[in-house]
Structure 1
């Protein structure tokens, strides 16, 4: 993926290291946006790529709770909302790469669109390759073209939506509980895809904050 930097990211007034959570809803929104902007700026300003690598590996070392405290309540189509959804997607794939690869492959076969090309997974993709793909997409957020990274993530979600929906149909009569779970997963991924695509569009017109 080419490393393009279309524009500088707005810096918050406070340093990222000194920002903390708040129970006040207005302050929590301010903190969410400020930390997201500061984190993205820090990673993009680091020409060594070390900051980006640490951020890609963050959830494996620290879990999701610290990120959730900052960004989970942010609007879906916002900078912190987009980053939160990307981290949730990464966590889900790292937690169960076998199921993620199964859904992706089933969706790839069923879906007649360019989403598989946009997402960029190998054909067919192993669980390890699916994990590598989501890490590559997240790395693109911090070092490459932010909008393209969001669009790749959205495309990945749409492929998995197709796979989860198709697999849910298979289990509807024999394992209804599993079918219900897959349907819920498809619904959630569909929402993520729409949110990430909308965020990519706003980023391109300098409207994502």
Structure 2
């Protein structure tokens, strides 16, 4: 999987440079949760949707800056941790849309669950349609039912993980290195699915922070 899936683009300068570079872990955690809450609250208060579209466009074009980098250190099943994983999904499909679409389609065919229907992509889905699906999920985070958006993202990850696992099995006899890479990708996506699903449950209980 491309490196972008782990660590999206970081902008070189920011007002948060000193926080990222010098603050202790407790302060970084406080700032991560505060920025995630503020971003979500501001976007959800904007009925016009302008802020949401700007967030999506910025992340698509530039990756994630130092504010979101703070989120990468937050617990997986927290608000900043969930937002971080959602943006990683967007970054991954922008980095390699053809591979992402291929893995999703393979997973859709092989995974005999409702996950593909929950995620909501066309069948089969083109790379552009999958990119739009991820954007639609992010719009749901900022404008719709947050827990539903997290459930859709978790389902999307499960379909992708299934596809990566099956393609890895196909590659194992002739391309063992590629098979190992895809297996790691499948494990990472399956972990994201569990984290996002748990975050959705926490949001419904009112204790996702």
TM-score (norm 2): 0.89
- Aligned counterparts, 1:145-184, within 5 A: 145-184=145-184
Partner of 2:24: 24
Q: How many residues align?
A: 193
- Aligned counterparts, 1:31-46, within 5 A: 31-46=31-46
Unaligned runs of 5+ in 1: 1-17
CA distance in 2, matches of 1:69, 1:172: 34
Partner of 2:113: 113
Unaligned runs of 5+ in 2: 1-14
- Output one character per residue of 1:119-152: Cα deviation in whole Å (capped at 9) or x when no partner: 0000110011000100000111000000000000
CA distance in 2, matches of 1:76, 1:94: 22
**1:65 CA drift (Å):** 3.5
Question: In the alignment, does 2:79 pair up with 1:61?
Answer: no
**1:19 CA drift (Å):** 7.0
CA contact (8 A) 2:101 2:125 kept: yes
- For 1:57, what is the secondary structure of its paired residue? helix
TM-score (norm 1): 0.89
Question: In the alignment, does 2:87 pair up with 1:79?
Answer: no
CA contact (8 A) 2:32 2:67 kept: no
**1:191 CA drift (Å):** 0.5
The alignment's C-alpha RMSD in Å is 1.5
- Output one character per residue of 1:3-34: Cα deviation in whole Å (capped at 9) or x when no partner: xxxxxxxxxxxxxxx87734211000000000
CA distance in 2, matches of 1:80, 1:68: 8
